[in-house]
Amino acid sequence: MASDKTAVTAKRSTFPLWNELLTMLLRLVVGATFAFSGFVKAVDPWGTIFKVDDYLAAMQIAVPDSIVFCGVFALFTIEFLLGVCFILGAYRRLAPSLAMLMMLVMLPLTLWIAVEDPVSDCGCFGDALVISHWQTFWKNVVLTVMVGWLVVFARKSRCFIIPTLQWLMVAATVLFVNAVAGYGYIYQPLMDFRPYPIGETLVSRDGGDEEVEFLFVYSKDGVEAEFTADALPEGDEWTFVDRKEVVRGDTEESAATSKLLRIYDADDEDVTESVVLDEGRQVILFYSSLDEVSIASTYQINSLYAYCQQQGIDMISVAAATPEEIAEWEDLSMPSYDIYIAEDTSIKEVVRGNPAVVFLEDGVVKFKSSLKAIAIADFMTEDTSTDPMSFAKDNKNILLKLSLIYLLSLLAIAVLSHVPMVVRYVRRRIRFRNLIVEEEEAIESADETSTAESEEQKPEQ
């Protein structure tokens, strides 16, 4: 047993300092990348679900929504957890192996995306950081190399949490990232990286140098093609499929942050600037898909309209639907408010949820919420607040509290991890001090004995 400990100590002593420092640096870089990627996916789970749906549609794979939901939550939980494990040095054998398996899947996938360009962006960093397909691929090449190094050397580097307490770190991390995701799924993302955050206008009225161009998607013999408005195909063999909005601006950055929401009436006329008020208070109810809205929600929606009328608030609705679908919905729900049309992608950029509520004041977004997150069945009851801002939640404060609780939990686990080391150190110090005391007592005893013997010998002399 003693020889095994000596061998381990000798092996560690031969581990070069530069190697250990490089491994620690790679751990931090890889960990930060995985943690960031997992967090931005978790903070906006709907956005991640939409992106996965885009991938599945491009691959022509049909997957039930429940499986997509579970897969998305598992994806960002594993990503974030691996990132934290790398940073803290936990599971130094398992974490690099799992990360390598993930990269072996992501690397060829991003190569296919870079070559075929099936979706607009990869979504690896959500809406927080949009990079090109080839940048994503080369990023994954570098990341795979770094993970490969960690597969070999990570287990020799230092850890901040001892193995017996690492399960506590895993539990705290899983709870934190799923609490953030759950809030974003039910209510709204705690951080909004889209062009319509709270405090920004919903519509750009100055226009700037940007221009919106429409591309029309037609299908022929199972093959889809895009055409501009002045080059539409002729003949019955072409079937209209969809219409897309493309911003033409000076830079890619301006295109990525542009407000592309355009609202149309039943005659396909752009009425965005006339129906979105730049003065006064307004509620806009967004439907990203009328087919998925329960008819049972119409009572709550109609009571919301009555509440807005009572409080002097304008209310309209915007749906991703055809005029025929809207007419059918109006027959079922009997709304008193006007319903307009917008692209589903634009609606999903504005707000998450179906239906979802956006409250504006002088054209500026004051709060956003899915309708089901506003736990009021009837807005016309006496106990309903007259201030619509009472329905809002302080997302920044909620995220700050969740993050603080999580970080304090990790700190407590790290402190507990060092308790045995501190105890051993204190025991060694006490044992060392006792040895010194015993030696001093032995010396004093020896001195006293020699003194007594010398005194006994004096009379004899």
CA 305 distance to own-chain centroid: 33
Q: How far is CA 230 from CA 91, 109, 215, 224, 403, in A?
A: 60, 36, 10, 18, 52
**3-state secondary structure string, 393-448?**
CCHHHHHHHHHHHHHHHHHHHHHHHHHHHHHHHHHHHHHHHHHHHHHHHHHHHHHH
Please, which residues have CB within 8 angstroms of residue 335's CB and are 6 or more apart in sequence?
298, 301, 302, 305, 317
Q: How far apart are CA 153 and CA 174, in angstroms?
A: 26
Alpha-carbon span 6 to 277, nearest angstrom:
77
Residue in the structure block whose two tokens are 């031969």: 14
Indicate the pTM of the whole model: 0.76
Q: Given the structure tokens 């950029």, which residue do they identify?
A: 349
**Residue 2 half-sphere exposure, CB side, CA atoms within 13 Å?**
0
Enumerate domains of the chain plus CATH numbers: 12-186 (no CATH), 193-204+263-392 (3.40.30.10)
Strand, coil or helix: 147:
helix
pLDDT of res. 38: 94
Other CB atoms within 10 A of residue 81 CB: 23
296-318 b/e with 16+ CB inside 10 Å = b? eeeebbbbbbebbeebebbbbbb
Q: What string of pLDDT tens digits covers the 461 residues of the chain? A: 444 444 444 444 456 888 888 989 999 999 999 999 999 999 999 989 988 888 888 888 888 989 999 999 999 999 999 999 999 989 989 999 999 999 999 999 889 888 888 877 777 887 888 888 898 899 999 999 999 999 998 888 888 888 888 999 999 999 999 999 999 998 889 988 888 888 888 887 655 445 556 667 777 766 667 777 666 677 667 776 666 656 555 444 444 456 778 899 888 898 988 999 989 999 999 998 888 888 888 899 999 999 999 999 999 999 998 888 898 998 888 888 999 999 888 898 899 888 999 999 999 999 999 888 888 888 988 888 888 888 888 888 999 999 999 999 999 998 888 777 767 767 777 777 777 777 766 776 766 666 666 666 655 54
pLDDT score of 1: 42
Task: Decide: 417 and 161 in contact? Cβ < 8 Å.
Answer: yes
